[in-house]
Structure 1
């Protein structure tokens, strides 16, 4: 019988729903892995008391410095710093091979900004830490979407569409997922109607051609018309898509599979998965509803699958 993998859990922003998800899901995920929570015992006790949820006896913590008042639903410099430190410790544990993977609970970007953290999110940290072009992919077993550009202003996206950079992105993405075919979205409405609505599709077409030539396989298809790329017929033919910008890929994904989708960081030496939702400050610590933990549990399961595939 295979030994359960150790997985580091970064607890996210303690003013949000992350720690409630961790506590409520612990019994279930403990059957799948050995979770190690990157939180100190004092902050865990404070969270537990506010939530009126007892701490499981086998809830293993990995000490993170920090002691502050939890303020449910509020943007906080100290909570932002703690969530960042929790994430960095999880990275260090994975980098030192003390854990098989890391799973991250949601952070608040405004809290990170208040704490003078220069990064906008988890993926940017991983990219800088490892010096690798980490790829953000989100989805579930029915559909996955990777993002060529992520957290940048929409007006800057068109300038980022570059043949060389997109070619390398496509090659790295294929290396990570090994799918038989991958749909690549255009940028403009109607994929520009042969240049009538823009010329970015020329760069996208060249990148697709280059990547397929390099792979000696007809893997990448497109540029696909963005407003029909996720139609039921298209999703019968494709499981993996490459979107040119954040909302182009994530708006349809979350409309279809919001409660079950996860976030996966590809093209890295470590395994990292995450929930595909935010801190939900509006419902944090309210204790009067059944919290949906499906995304978190799916993230744990995917991390284990990725780990097993790397053996």
Structure 2
């Protein structure tokens, strides 16, 4: 069975509970290695009043074992989640595991801990000196993000023909989809320049990327308000959004529990849950674990199965 490193996420959130309660399930089809101290997970078990599975395998990160403060944003939890993530990457780099799966971190806790990167994707870009690409979704629909964790006011200036053309070709190199629908930026794709000219650059990038690939892979741009219509979702599985929320809002509205996050254009396979730390329910109720199970499944298989167009 394939070995998968699991970074434990923010210890004050739902990540550790998800890992513990689903261990018996995922061990049937992979060999998980948990980047956490057994003593820490024993503390989690005590708070949750559940037993620590006896057959868990550990690869603890560097540093001390912090105290658990359910639902609190602390530098200690931020530092531990970051070091757990770095330990998982190290195991993948040395080929001790085939892939990694990450549980949710809290970005403010990382900041408080002095971590310079905003989140997982940015840390992967820095570690591997490449543009790590974020794609989220499930077998029904995947959304790739041209820009991800940047302020909305900064999105427009990132959209150039050259940058988007390179992004599209890199995306196809990672996921050789049959076709993908590209969203515009402005309402009605700018209406011929009435509401901005960024969509002209998007259209040119699509044309040149398709020309370079010698086939019509990328379709668009299409106005974001109609991109995710039932007809388009029936026809397309892959969508490309210029920025974070316009792509992920419909995805999470439709497939919140099923969706996962996969990082493309890096030398290791990294999958993740597509949800946050859920402080509101941490150590209180049992969280939905379907996103984690789907993320582990992709980390195990290494394949994104394309839905056939109808």
- Which of 15, 19, 25 is the matching residue for 2:16? 19
Q: SS in structure 2 opposite 1:270? A: coil
Q: In structure 2, how many angstroms separate the alpha carbons of the residues matched to 1:63 and 1:109?
A: 21
After superposition, residues 85-96 of structure 1 pair within 5 angstroms as 85-96=83-94
Q: Map Cα deviations across residues 221-243 of structure 1 (whole Å, 9 max, x no partner).
A: 00111001001000111100110
Alignment match, 2:31:
34
Alignment match, 1:140:
138
Alignment match, 1:168:
166
* Unmatched tracts of structure 2, length 5 or more: 306-310
- Which of 287, 303, 306 is the matching residue for 2:302? 306
Q: SS in structure 1 opposite 2:224? A: coil
Q: In structure 1, how many angstroms separate the alpha carbons of the residues matched to 2:303 and 2:239?
A: 23
Q: In structure 2, how many angstroms separate the alpha carbons of the residues matched to 1:202 and 1:308?
A: 31
Alignment match, 1:149:
147
Contact 1:101–1:303 (Cα < 8 Å) also in 2: yes
Contact 1:100–1:307 (Cα < 8 Å) also in 2: no
What is the deviation of 1:308? 10
TM-score after normalising by structure 2? 0.96
Alignment match, 1:71:
69
- Which of 48, 55, 60 is the matching residue for 2:57? 60
Q: Map Cα deviations across residues 33-72 of structure 1 (whole Å, 9 max, x no partner).
A: 0000000122111111111111111111112232221000
What is the deviation of 1:290? 3.5
Q: Map Cα deviations across residues 160-212 of structure 1 (whole Å, 9 max, x no partner).
A: 10111100100011111111111110000011112111100011011101100
Q: SS in structure 2 opposite 1:183? A: strand
Q: In structure 2, how many angstroms separate the alpha carbons of the residues matched to 1:290 and 1:11?
A: 17
Q: SS in structure 1 opposite 2:252? A: helix
Q: In structure 2, how many angstroms separate the alpha carbons of the residues matched to 1:246 and 1:92?
A: 28
Q: In structure 1, how many angstroms separate the alpha carbons of the residues matched to 2:185 and 2:294?
A: 30
Q: SS in structure 2 opposite 1:12? A: coil
Alignment match, 1:82:
80
Contact 2:35–2:60 (Cα < 8 Å) also in 1: yes
Q: In structure 2, how many angstroms separate the alpha carbons of the residues matched to 1:41 and 1:236?
A: 46
The range that moved more, 276-285 or 64-73, is 64-73
Alignment match, 2:224:
226
User: Which stretches of structure 1, 4 residues or longer, exceed 6 Å deviation after superposition?
Assistant: none
Alignment match, 1:118:
116
- Which of 267, 274, 277 is the matching residue for 1:276? 274
TM-score after normalising by structure 1? 0.96
Alignment match, 1:203:
201
Root-mean-square deviation (CA, aligned residues, Å) is 1.2
